[in-house]
Amino acid sequence: MTDSAKPNTAVLLDGKAISGQVLGELKAEVAAYKAAHPSFRPKLVAMQVGARSDSSVYIRQKSKACNEIGIEFEHVQLADDIQQSDLDAQLDRINNDPSVHGIIVQLPLPDHLNTKHVVHSISAEKDVDGFHAENIGNLSKRATEPFFHSCTPMGCIELLKRYSIPVAGKNAVVVGRSDIVGAPVAMMLTNLDATVTLCHSRTQGLEDKVRMADIVVVAMGKAEAVRAEWIKQGAVVIDVGMNAKDDPTKKAGYRWVGDVDAAAMLRASYMTPVPGGVGPMTVAMLLRNVVIGAKRHFDASSRVKIAPSALTLQTPVPSDIAIADAHQPKLIAQVAGELNLAHAEFEPYGKHTAKVTLDVMERLKDNSDGRYVVVTGISPTPLGEGKSTVTIGLTQALYAHLKKPAFACVRQPSQGPTFGIKGGAAGGGYSQVTPMTSMNLHLTGDIHAITAANNLVAAAVDARCFHEATQTNMQLFNRLCPKSKGTRKVSAIMMSRIRSLGITAADVDALTPDEIARVVRLDIDRDAIMWRRVLDTNDRFLREITIGEAATERGMARKTGFDIAVGSEIMAVLALTTSLADMRARLGRMVVALSKQGVPVTCDDIGVTGALAVLMKDAIKPTLMQTLEGSPVFVHAGPFANIAHGNSSIVADRIALKLVGAPPGEAATPESAGYVVTEAGFGADIGFEKFVNIKCRASGLVPDAAVIVATVRALKMHGGGPDVVPGKPLADEYTQENLGLLEKGFANLRRHIENVRSVGIPAIVAINAFATDTDAELALIRTLARQAGAYDAVPTQLWAKGGAGAIELADAVVRCCSSGSSAQPAADGFRFLYDANMPIKQKIETIAKQFYRASSVSFSDEAERKIAQFTESGWDKMPICMAKTQYSFSADPALKGAPEAFDLPIRDIRASLGAGFIYPLCGAMQTLPGLPTRPCFYDIDIDADTGDIVGLF
């Protein structure tokens, strides 16, 4: 920078001109970054306590400068009598707002507030003033770098750089030792290799020290404290001070002077003017800090950080719980940090589990989605074929071995199977969700919340029947809409019911007797109550019970029963909801009974909807956990797959897809694409079909690939092998090579491949290999699967090796998702199996004939009656959720392989209006399992000395 100067006077260090240059450069930098990254929006928040006029002027100046260069600016003005705790809460809110990249608190603060506390309460990563102790402290260490340099000191250094003034090796004197200017500028000069002396008002021999200085920086806040004659000839003077000095010749009665006598201009080589020197640079450096912070945040948060946890594999493989106990998971705060979740976006439940708020969806709504992969399976044996293990192991392989952003989304296990036959559902071996004990037990209490909500509805239904049977219309009205001090209280949900009945009276006291009767009497047909109680325990003796036997219920006994908690419609609602408002609306639509006139009675009619939403307000948030190899996992919802739709939540999938997706305007390349692996329950004829036709229809999401899990054991069973019975040793056919049995049973897998491809999704077969499987058996499955149209078929060893045992599978998934079309292309892209507007019978027959290969469907008289009733009620436009056995394509669990030309019997049809589907019952279906002779709980215990759980799997 050059400048014309009068003879024998210093060159002016023109802060106004330089700041203009800096702001122009920042404007271009912000525009260029926004062009490359459309979602980049730097933001500064200025907090002002009170309304001091000088502070307001500074705020307006900063707002104007922000607008000129493309920085969003928010002015938070607070009352001057605000209490410290309220100010702290405001700061905490802004600190945790990921859209804010810089925070300043306009000083001075009122005397009742602790200024030092406030300054240090600003996050160091958003402290664009550079006042935080962490930023100041890191400035003083050569091995560390602060998030931000203090603005005024940095402005001084920038002036030196812009005028090409050498600093290294020079003697510099800084007069003034404040944390805001003096101390930081001394450290900055030191870091530029100057020899620095830091002085202050009590420094002995101050004049002599200044006389020796090549560079003088003065920030004392005292007018003309440094005399002109102290300045060494040719020295550089940076005057930070700005003081009002009386001057009757000026219109204002004063003029601005610095901390250095202006006559020093005759001795210095360069000197800042006052005003127009350092002052303008402070604002420019502030905005530079905001841009630096915004870019740093954007770069750090635009991609998931991959930080695998190491596995120590052992042979033989220990028990699941032994592996889990030996593993030390990352703290959940670290997992959340790697996902770029703000502190306010996750709520820890202990050290290794957290709830994630739905605010994340709003923040990331413009992100593209990652790749979406669904894991399904063949028709299983009663032992299960390892879908959860493959889901977790595949995610571990993508994340820890292929270094891809990867997320698993799985259902929460029911405690029925955990203590019954099957055990938990956290995966197995070295492919597990951890801590597996938490996942398989209470976790964050979502199933308990569902149980409480479900049983509140059941209690409300029976109570309403009781009260309507024992009270007059007016008694009911006065209790449902009580009067207090002459004013009748009508709850919002009761007013909603009044309006839904077409009653428009503004004053409920003006209702006619007939209108009152319509409002207060639901007139429930007690033989048409559809709602049953639930619990999360396998208890066969609660399948059918009689309630209302106490004398106080006055002959109100009736037969009912319990279902398993995860079979509750509320669980299905949780899994299919898209927001809190959507969940509340779905809960309100749930039909619990019919009136004696055949009119559906809903939760809204009973008045319980708001209470249900309150009970479920935390359950709607997905639970964040991790795998053994450190990849993130959402555990959320757990609807049964045979009596419900059997998939984890839409909310979890959506959040995960956005977290591993790309910011707006940025295309995900095959190298950078993230992956979400979700699991559909049981075989592809059940969980996958419902994933496509119910879940994807509700979510609008389209899967990129499907992984079908198969085992040699299950295929041999479908080929005619002996029954597989839990608790009994496997027959020799399953532990010895038998290619003939295997090839015959492959018909089951072939049909699942055909079904997956028929809806436009490429199919990859994951062979969950066991130690007894031979190379020839695995090779046969690969060959037959590829011939059947699978994109690939890959043996895996996820149980024994974790992610390392699924690298080939992960490679196949990446290739399949990246290619846009498979080697064996699925026909014409993704589509639903049926149009939801088709008649109910036609939808059922489409599933039965196209997916199951039934030749006919027979409907019982009850099913026929329900179809007519549902159609008349307008419920016929919902998708179908078939409730049938998981062990066969048919309704007969003994009919293995790939049966054809069978009849599918529909014995009953029910409606879940809240969940949004019709579910036909095929054959006899148990909605509450029972305990076997030797349940899993025989092996589960606790070490009384350590508190460790043993025997869980």
| Three-class secondary structure of residue 770 per DSSP | coil
CB-side neighbour CA atoms (13 Å) of 884: 30
Integer Cα distance of 210 and 218 in angstroms: 10
Question: Which among 888, 932, 937, 926 has a CA at the least distance from the CA of 567?
Answer: 926
Integer Cα distance of 628 and 697 in angstroms: 33
Angle among Cα 547, 548, 551 to the nearest 5 degrees reads 145
Query: Cα dihedral sign for 790, 793, 798, 799?
Result: positive
CA 64 to chain centre: 36
Is the Cβ–Cβ distance between 376 and 709 less than 8 Å? yes
Strand partners, 483: 488
CA dihedral 615, 616, 622, 623 (to 10 degrees): 20
Say whether 62 is catalytic: yes
Pairing of strands 675-679, 406-410: parallel
List the catalytic residue out of 16, 34, 62, 295: 62
Is the Cβ–Cβ distance between 365 and 661 less than 8 Å? no
Integer Cα distance of 644 and 211 in angstroms: 86
720 Ramachandran zone, left/alpha/beta (phi>0; psi -120 to 50): left
Q: HEC profile for 564-583?
A: EHHHCHHHHHHHHCCCHHHH
Buried/exposed code over 922-937 (b: 16+ C-beta within 10 A; e: otherwise): beebebbbebeeebbe
Is the Cβ–Cβ distance between 899 and 912 less than 8 Å? no
**581: its two tokens:** 């408002």
Cα dist. 756→652, 653, 752, 909 in Å?
A: 23, 20, 6, 26
**126: its two tokens:** 């958003």
Name, in order, each residue with C-beta under 8 angstroms of 99's C-beta and a sequence gap of 6 or more: 41, 43, 363
Is the Cβ–Cβ distance between 670 and 776 less than 8 Å? no
Is the Cβ–Cβ distance between 37 and 96 less than 8 Å? no
Catalytic residue numbers read: 62
